[in-house]
Structure 1
Amino acid sequence: MYDRQRDLAAENERLRLHVAEAGENAERAFALMAACDADCAEALRRGRAGSAGRVAALERELAAVRDRLHAAEHAAARLQARYEHQRGLMRELSHRLRNALTLVQAMVGQTLREPTTLSDGRATLLARIVALGQAHAVLIDERWLGTTVRRTVETALATHAGPDTAGRFAVAGPRVRLGSRQTVALSMALHELATNSAKYGSLSCEAGRVRIAWHTAREADGRRLHLAWSEHDGPPVRPPGRRGFGSRLIERTVTDTLGGTVDLRFDPAGVVCTLSAPVAPAGRG
């Protein structure tokens, strides 16, 4: 213990002598060291503050870049969806065009086979093409999503219904929407019925009347449309000697296109046509 205390005392004495010898130079050195330490501390503080600011600025810039990237991704997704939608529309338009041309081809071929004059055949063919065009005009107006039975009936009868014939048609039925193919098929069937009636049936005389009524029912195979066309107060009806294209067109559109059944009767009191077909959701089929 004694030796340790003696060594410490000797060391302190040597330090005192060194400080005494340094004098003012030691005090100046200590002051410069203290100032240097303070400057270093301040520089360190500012450096940290500056680094934090730069980091925050970089984070903000990164967030802005990320937002722009997300916006670009969303825009690209919308463009892709629009492109796919347009491709779908083009495929659907091509499909509908082929169907329309097939129907026109059949109408031309069958009309020319009927034993009639050239002028009568031209008028019949033109009327059928006009009816087809009117049905497509309705679908275009409805964005190809189909339309109601009432609008289909009214459009098909527009050629035969004028100011003086408004009371000759009785149209009754609930609101039922049809698919696009159903709209065209029903329009063509009604056009043939109205044309035949204007030539030989109730619409060929002033007292004649036509009633079109429909309803729907839930059946084993789903919801079905039942529509009846009946003529009254016209000239006596006699069954034709042969089935014309109009009758075949009605049966073909109802059975093949509508997937339903049709019963066309030439009763003496007036033509009666009843049809039944499944109701497809609007915009489909």
Structure 2
Amino acid sequence: MAGMLRILLLEDSTIDAELIEAQLESLDEAFAVKRVATRAAYQAALADDTFDVILSDFSLPDFDGMAALELAVASAPYAPFIFVSGVLGEDAAIEAFRKGATDYVLKPRLARLPAAVTRALNEARERAERRRIEQQKDLLVRELSHRVKNNLAVVLSLIRRTGRSCRSVAEFEEKLLARISALADAHELLFEGNWDETELLSVFQRAVRPHNKDLARFDIGRHDLVRLDPKTALSIGMVFNELVTNASKYGALANEQGRISIAWAVDKTNLGRSVRLSWTEHGGPAIKVPGDEGFGTRLIKANIEYELGGQASLHYPPEGFKAEIDVPIPESEAVRTVSA
């Protein structure tokens, strides 16, 4: 029955039912008619099945067409309801339209039934499409509102926490602008992909672009093709920004000789799949273990461990900073190994 027009016919006369079905043969669509003749059978049909259109006599042995219309409006409000009756006065027709009937066809003029059914179905489908568009719009508005609230919360947190770690207004402005710009870059990348999944490589390239436009100072090793959902992409983008900002000020990008090796691979265990990322700096100034955990370090750990349920290990050997990051990814993600 898939793809077939479903018609419920409420008619107590077998002869009239056969005439009605004969007229319906001229419809352009394949159809199936379920005929009922009593109130109980009609109610059972409405409860047990769905119909594209309902055809009903006006005068029936155990109840009338108006009662049938009320039941249809309650149980199948989107199905067009057409009276097919021997006699339907003007007052009755007006009352029927007021209560939700779509059309009426007199039995002496059954030839116009196919046109009435076709018109009713087209109008119903147009209304259904409008409802779908409205529902989609409402969904998008709610999603946009949710994302705006989340982003404002992130921005407020960045402002508050950046301010705590800065010693001057100039330092605060510089760090805050960099972090807000990183957030904006991640959003731009997601917007370009229509807020669908985004490749990890693209997130990395977009995050480091302001610091190293041609990636000449990066040695990219194995990098499996990994697609990230919007939430993960935003968090990873913020992490990359912190890593490259730190490297530009204190690490491998703070001089002309330093380089950064980066690689990531998908790892599958009994607990599921994750992407393991390594960031290794070398050739830069000698580094020292920081005395206090700065906001950048806390931001990295917060995004990886709390937002994404992963792990972030940061190391400070004299020859160069190292970061090892492990982030869980859904089993459905398609991945492909890419060599340097």
The interval holding the TM-score normalised by the smaller chain is 0.7 to 0.9
The alpha carbon displacement at 1:215 in A equals 0.8
Question: Given the alignment of the two structures, is residue 105 of structure 1 paired with residue 156 of structure 2, yes or no?
Answer: yes
Query: Which blocks of at least 5 consecutive residues in structure 1 are unaligned?
Result: 1-54
The alpha carbon displacement at 1:266 in A equals 1.1
| Bigger RCO of structures 1 and 2 (CA < 8 A, at least 6 apart) | 1
Candidates 179, 188, 204, aligned match of 2:238: 188
Whichever residue aligns with residue 297 of structure 2, its letter is: S
> Where does structure 1 differ by over 4 angstroms across 4 or more consecutive aligned residues?
none
Deviations 1:177-236 (A, max 9, x none): 001000000000110010010000000011111122111122223221111111111111
TM-score, structure 1 as length reference: 0.75
State the match for 1:167 in structure 2.
Answer: 216
Following superposition of structure 1 onto structure 2, how do residues 71-220 of structure 1 map, counting pairs within 5 Å?
Answer: 71-163=122-214, 166-172=215-221, 173-220=223-270
The alpha carbon displacement at 1:57 in A equals 9.9
Whichever residue aligns with residue 202 of structure 1, its letter is: A
Query: C-alpha distance in 1, partners of 2:307/2:154?
Result: 11
The alpha carbon displacement at 1:61 in A equals 2.1
Whichever residue aligns with residue 220 of structure 2, its letter is: V
Query: Which blocks of at least 5 consecutive residues in structure 2 are unaligned?
Result: 1-105, 334-340
Deviations 1:17-75 (A, max 9, x none): xxxxxxxxxxxxxxxxxxxxxxxxxxxxxxxxxxxxxx999444211121111111112
TM-score, structure 2 as length reference: 0.63
Query: C-alpha distance in 1, partners of 2:109/2:220?
Result: 73
Deviations 1:55-98 (A, max 9, x none): 99944421112111111111222221222222221221112111
Matched positions, count: 227
Whichever residue aligns with residue 219 of structure 2, its letter is: A
SS in structure 1 opposite 2:316?
strand
Candidates 253, 273, 276, aligned match of 2:326: 276
Query: C-alpha distance in 1, partners of 2:220/2:120?
Result: 59
State the match for 1:266 in structure 2.
Answer: 316
Following superposition of structure 1 onto structure 2, how do residues 244-259 of structure 1 map, counting pairs within 5 Å?
Answer: 244-259=294-309
Query: C-alpha distance in 2, partners of 1:267/1:118?
Result: 32
Deviations 1:257-283 (A, max 9, x none): 11111101112111111111111467x
SS in structure 1 opposite 2:275?
strand
State the match for 1:242 in structure 2.
Answer: 292
Query: C-alpha distance in 1, partners of 2:240/2:231?
Result: 14
SS in structure 2 opposite 1:267?
coil
Whichever residue aligns with residue 217 of structure 2, its letter is: R
Shift of the 151–57 alpha-carbon distance from structure 1 to 2, 3 Å rule, reads farther
Whichever residue aligns with residue 122 of structure 1, its letter is: E
Whichever residue aligns with residue 223 of structure 1, its letter is: R
CA RMSD of aligned residues (A): 2.0
Deviations 1:239-262 (A, max 9, x none): 111111000000000011111111
The alpha carbon displacement at 1:120 in A equals 1.5
Query: C-alpha distance in 2, partners of 1:65/1:221?
Result: 60
Whichever residue aligns with residue 194 of structure 1, its letter is: V
Give the structure with the higher percent helix.
Answer: 1
Question: Given the alignment of the two structures, is residue 222 of structure 1 paired with residue 222 of structure 2, yes or no?
Answer: no
State the match for 2:26 in structure 1.
Answer: none
